[in-house]
Structure 1
Amino acid sequence: MNPQTGLCEGCWRTIDEIVMWGTADNDKKKAVWAEIERRQQALF
């Protein structure tokens, strides 16, 4: 986890997103993937 961003440096998810991933439905997972794309674009 990157202490400055609070994101996993491998998957770009927050701790909360990682914890809920196993029980999340497809809609929630799609929303997380969309957020990951926004995060990457904002940082690059």
Structure 2
Amino acid sequence: MSSKAEKDSVWQRQEVESPCIQICVVHPEERICTGCLRSIDEITRWSKMDNDERSAILDELPARAPRLRKRRGGRASRMAR
């Protein structure tokens, strides 16, 4: 008879987990999610991607963060006019 751990391991998959943090808001200009930094296409296709493609996207995400930190004006912009 199999142990519980052996039975449970049958249902575990070795796959790259989604970076979703359940803050799902798409930035209007950059067109990426402000929570996980993935594009709509990447979010939609995630479940169909293999681990290599998922890993490649995860590697790119940190470089996307600065795209959401750009200021759109503020005081410095108004003062320059």
TM-score (normalizing by structure 2): 0.48
Q: Which amino acid aligns with 1:5?
A: E
Once residues 9 and 38 of structure 1 are traced to their aligned partners in structure 2, the CA distance between those partners, rounded to angstroms, is: 13
- Give the deviation of 1:4 after TM superposition: 1.2
Structure 1 runs (4+) greater than 4 angstroms displaced: none
Find the counterpart in structure 2 of residue 8 from structure 1: 33
Find the counterpart in structure 2 of residue 31 from structure 1: 56
Q: Does the alignment pair 1:19 with 2:52?
A: no
- Give the deviation of 1:25 after TM superposition: 0.4
Specify which structure has the higher proportion of helix. Answer: 1
Q: Percent identity?
A: 38
Larger Rg: 2
In the alignment of these two chains, the number of paired residues is: 42
CA RMSD of aligned residues (A): 1.1
